[in-house]
Amino acid sequence: MKQALVAAVASLAFVAGCSGSPQPGQTITLATTTSTRDSGLLDVLIPMFEERTGIQVKVVAVGSGQALEMGRRGDADVLLTHAPAAEERFVSEGYGIERRSVMANDFVVVGPASDPAGIRGQPSAAEAFRRIASQKALFVSRGDESGTHMKEKAIWKQAGIRPEGEWYIPVGSGMAQALRVASEKQAYALTDRGTFLAQRDGLSLSVLLEGDPLLRNPYSVMLVNPDKHPHVKVAAARRFAEFLVAEETQKVIGQFGIDRFGQPLFFPTAGDADEPPSANRGPGPEK
């Protein structure tokens, strides 16, 4: 498997160079989620892109909501997020262009192996959340308007519950830190599978619920609209977006994690039938 990964990486020299001339010395700002950082995926992809283009990438890893706000302010050139409804608003309001599907994984509900709320084997995430609330079992929330937090709030809404009380613990942090708090307190949490697998050796938590279609977790890349923020480096940002959806990069994404975990942490989705429309697609001025 390592040989296959190395071969796929090596062939990216051609892929990364196929869109426009290199712009060595330029730096673009990527606003993305903590899950892409904490899973280790960016540690593979960013050096590959930088080596083959000469374009440097400054990564700001925050919640998806914060990443989108950075885009609204013009504080980033390109976004990689996992909050579909918020992304659609971002594009429809004219702040983003060329939204494209990159990859997906899924959310899982984790908690102590003793499972005090009895959620293991429940048919849906909403039913699991109802059991957690009825038992007032400890639940750690990211509480940071990230894509994970948005998904969590959607599940509570479907369950018909407004979580509050001492049992509900918002931490206002990234996924890795939230998982550490949940492990220390032996609490439940919603997490993307990739971050959990990457962090699980240091955690005393188990996957207790998975497979609900509601828990699908798609990631998209989009450019900040230069019509809103003329200073953004749209040409270099576009090269990064094209790199992410290129066939060979997609192969690397699909293989990432197999060597260490026996399964991929993400599944490539560029070109899938359910790929988000590239609304407001346009060339924009070259920066």
Architecture in CATH for domain 106-215: 3-Layer(aba) Sandwich (3.40)
Q: Which of 125, 222, 141 is nearest to 181 (CA)?
A: 141
Read off the tokens for 143. 């509480």
Token code pair at residue 89: 């608003």
Taking the C-alpha atoms of residue 16 and residue 19, their distance in angstroms, rounded to an integer, is: 7
User: Rounded distance, CA 138 to CA 117, Å?
Assistant: 9
217 Cα distance to chain centroid: 8
Average pLDDT, the chain: 88
Q: Which residues of the chain have pLDDT under 70?
A: 1-24, 273-287
Supply the pTM of this predicted model: 0.78
Angle, to 10 degrees, between the axis of helix 147-159 and the axis of helix 125-135? 80
Per-residue pLDDT, 24: 62
Q: Rounded distance, CA 16 to CA 134, Å?
A: 52
Torsion of the alpha carbons at 225, 228, 232 and 235, rounded to the nearest 10: 40
Quote the DSSP letter at residue 202. Answer: G
Q: What pLDDT, on a 0 to 100 scale, did the predictor assign at position 189?
A: 98
2-105+218-268 CATH:
3.40.190.10
Q: How far apart are CA 274 and CA 67, in angstroms?
A: 23
| Residues 145-192: tens digit of each pLDDT | 888 999 999 999 999 999 999 999 999 998 999 999 999 999 999 999
Residue-level pLDDT at 146? 87
First to last CA, the chain: 39
The Cα 274–Cα 265 span in angstroms is 20
- In this chain, the answer to whether the domains covering 2-105+218-268 and 106-215 adopt an identical fold is yes
Question: Rounded to an integer, what is the distance from CA 136 to the centroid of its chain?
Answer: 29
Question: In the Cβ-directed half-sphere of 200, how many Cα atoms lie within 13 Å?
Answer: 18
**Amino acid 34: pLDDT:** 87
Query: Helix (H, G, I), strand (E, B), or coil: what is residue 211?
Result: coil
Give the DSSP letter of residue 95.
Answer: S
Give the β-pairing of 27-33 and 56-62. parallel
CA–CA gap between residue 185 and residue 169 (Å, rounded): 10
Residue ranges per structural domain of the chain: 2-105+218-268, 106-215
